[in-house]
């Protein structure tokens, strides 16, 4: 697998994404600041989505964007509380966005399912 970004830029992007994900997890676990954790995940997913789009992977970028929005919705719902109507709607919406985004990223579509290459023919 080759990167289209120069090595130092790719390393910086990966470090920034890792810092967002790890930082969000630490904030969620230690301080139970779920909204802040959701925002950290959203920033990380947005960076991944932008990198995917720059590399010509639009479907992966869209899936990562939806997953990032799902994390934020989930975090806001947990912060609002499951017992409230708004909190429950945000949690359910967040889970749906996470599932849809993940399916878009990992499920083979079109020519990927048949093993053919769109660039030839």
CA distances to 2, 5, 105, 113 from 98, rounded to whole Å, are: 28, 27, 11, 22
pLDDT band at 90 (very low <50, low <70, confident <90, very high): very high
pLDDT band at 121 (very low <50, low <70, confident <90, very high): very low
List phi, psi (to 5°) of 100: -60, -45
Encode pLDDT of 18-75 as tens digits. Answer: 888 888 888 877 887 877 887 888 888 888 888 888 878 888 888 888 888 888 888 7
């Amino acid at each position: 697998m080759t990167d289209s970004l120069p090595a130092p830029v790719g390393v910086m992007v990966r470090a920034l994404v890792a810092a967002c994900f790890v930082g969000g997890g630490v904030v969620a676990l230690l301080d139970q600041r779920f909204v802040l954790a959701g925002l950290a995940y959203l920033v990380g997913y947005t960076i991944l989505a932008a990198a995917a789009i720059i590399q010509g992977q639009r479907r992966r970028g869209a899936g990562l964007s939806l997953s990032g929005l799902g994390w934020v919705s989930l975090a806001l719902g947990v912060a609002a509380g499951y017992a409230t109507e708004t909190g429950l709607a945000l949690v359910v919406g967040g889970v749906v966005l996470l599932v849809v985004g993940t399916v878009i990223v990992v499920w083979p579509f079109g020519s990927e399912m048949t093993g053919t290459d769109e660039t030839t023919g």
